[in-house]
Amino acid sequence: MAFRILPLSIISTIALSSALSLTGCGPEKKEEVSAATSGYMPADAKKKSSEKAEKSNTNPADPGNLALPSANPSANTNPKGAQTLSSGLPEAPKLPEFEPGKIDPALAGREFMKLAIPESKEPDALASYLAKNGRALRELFAEGSKKTLTRETVLKRGMELCRDKIAAAEKLITAATDDKQKSMGIISKMEALTQMAGMGDVISADDLRDFVSKQINSDIPEIAEQSTAIWLALSVNDLDSGSAKPEVVIEIIEKTLQSKSLGPAIMNSVAGAIEAIENKTKTPQIELAKKLEAAFRDSKDSNASMMAWQVLAQRTKSMADLQEALGKENDVIEAAAKAVLQDLPSAWTAFFLASSSTNIEYSGRVEAAKILVKLAEEKIDSLPSEELKIELKTNCEKFWKRVNIVGSELDFSGLAELDGKPFSFDSYKGKVVVLDFWATWCGPCLEEIPNLKSMLEKRQSEGVEIIGINLDEDRSRLDSFLGTEKLPWKTVVSSDATKVAFETPLVSKIGISAIPFIAIIGKDGKVAAIHTRGKNLDPKVAELLGIAKE
């Protein structure tokens, strides 16, 4: 059972193109570079991977659970936790103990089936009820989607809740003592009418149009924004039904972008309207996208500003050209990046270039990454907030720290061996040493281990060593991993328990913000290369050993 319940802004947030997912292209193939293909995992991925691991230990149904099943089928559980028979097959679920066509008593007792409008006319009581009503409607529709309630039950109860919502909203509008309460009442009424229209009530659709038209010029910014966004969305519905022409919707979009209250609701509504016009006319609406981006370029809402930039970037040829150029020569990349900056003179273009540089850098094309970072740095002062300026500046500074270690000696102070003894690099002097910055939660790191082992087995007798610098926050995870995975090289960690993971002294000194990070030290004790992994690792090591190409 599916219900077409329209959200408050009616038009859902646009789906962003994968071409703008802030990824780069590989050095040898014109392929998308991600954590899997460029071989790096951002620092914040650690938390997500850790949470996924925790879930997989407690929830057999979690798709991230990679644990092998028990050899004894009866010891396993099915995805819903029911005990399995000795054959390994789950037991048949018990039938609900209520008559077909009736409501499950457990659901009948839920708030969405019992909630009643309060008799009180006090604003606080009405506001509290409206909040409960919104939650009840969401839960009701969720049960309808799961088919635990019949379509008829959901429609009947949904309309009852919406009518009560309107009644309570109108009481709150009358009793409101401030703009916040009045705004809640008006927006709740718009929301209820929208939901009723979504359930197929034609009269509610007409009432919504009439009510919204009276709120567009409200002095309360939130009300003006929401009503303007809904008015535009209604025009898109008219476009879809054939009762409005594209030219009419375009005119409404242009008026909408002149609104004094430009926020996320209008941003989403305009973006959806642009897409609807393009679907109808089969013509890219570049000019409308430019107007949207310009309207939100200096918005205090950074998410809305970024989304508006993405709407335009999706439709900008120079952006597509840059995506293509990222797999080519450095001068081609630079020309393409400058063209994007000219066509998209937004601060978000700088963030895009900086993000793209990370993918390129970790794929081994450091010089190409430098081009993009330099161009991004030129835009730092144009960013709309100090917070964004600091973020981009910090990212660029870390980049230069990383790439500038080539040709320099590293300071290994602050590292310790697993037994707590301070780590000394002295015994490695005169050898070619591969530094592997890694963590047990990093998939690409673990995928690189077999390659490192193979290289070491082949080259150790020729004067090659590996040092693993672990970035796990939880030492027990490392110990557990090393208990089953024997690594034929020394693993070191931070000597300061309060500065671990990406705060490990050496890691922070050289600006590492994603792993695995590979650095190769030559016989002279200086870093000779970074980001040399996979099939490129052994040839580079052989070169530093002075061995002719095989």
pLDDT digits (tens, 9 = 90+) for 290-344: 999 999 988 888 889 889 999 999 999 999 999 899 889 999 999 999 999 999 9
Q: Which CATH architecture group holds 415-545?
A: 3-Layer(aba) Sandwich (3.40)
| Tens digit of each residue's pLDDT (9 = 90 or more) over 75-133 | 333 333 333 333 333 344 343 444 545 677 778 888 889 999 998 889 999 999 999 99
* In the block, residue with structure tokens 């301070």: 422
Q: What is the mean pLDDT of residues 453-476?
A: 96
pLDDT for 384 equals: 72
Beta strands in 425-472 (DSSP E): 432-438, 464-470
Residue 219 has pLDDT above 80, yes or no: yes
pLDDT average, residue stretch 466-474? 96
DSSP type of residue 33 = E
Residue range 250-264: average pLDDT? Answer: 90
Reported residue count of the chain is: 550
Q: Rounded to an integer, what distance in angstroms lies between the CA atom of residue 104 and that of residue 95? A: 11
Mean pLDDT within 151-179: 93
| For residue 471, pLDDT beyond 90 | yes
Contact 25, 326 (CB under 8 A): yes
**Residue 403: what pLDDT?**
95
Longest CA–CA span in the chain (Å) reads: 89
DSSP secondary-structure letter at 44? T
Predicted model pTM: 0.68
**% of the chain with per-residue pLDDT over 70:** 81
Using alpha carbons, select from 510, 527, 504, 519 the residue that is nearest to residue 400: 510
DSSP designation for 84:
B
Structure tokens at 336: 């393409």
Structure token digits, residue 165: 């919502």
Tell me the C-alpha to C-alpha distance, in Å, between residue 99 and each of 102, 103, 337.
6, 8, 66
Band of pLDDT at residue 410, cut at 50, 70 and 90 = very high
Instruction: Answer yes or no: is pLDDT of 137 > 90.
Output: yes
Are 396 and 373 in contact by the 8 Å Cβ rule? The answer is: yes
Q: Please, which residues bridge with residue 515 across strands?
A: 41
Burial class (CB within 10 angstroms; exposed 0-12, middle 13-18, buried 19+) of 433 = buried
Number of DSSP helices (H) and strands (E) in the chain, helices first: 21, 10
Q: DSSP for 73-132, please give it.
A: GGG-B-TT-PBBPTTSPBPPPPPPSS-TTSPPHHHHTSHHHH----S---HHHHHHHHHH
Q: What is the pLDDT of residues 12-56, one digit of tens each?
A: 222 222 222 222 222 233 333 333 345 555 555 555 544 444 443
Q: Do the Cβ atoms of 533 and 518 come closer than 8 Å?
A: yes
User: What pLDDT is recorded for position 326?
Assistant: 87
Average pLDDT, the chain: 82
Q: Quote the CA–CA distance of 80 and 134 in Å, as a whole number.
A: 29
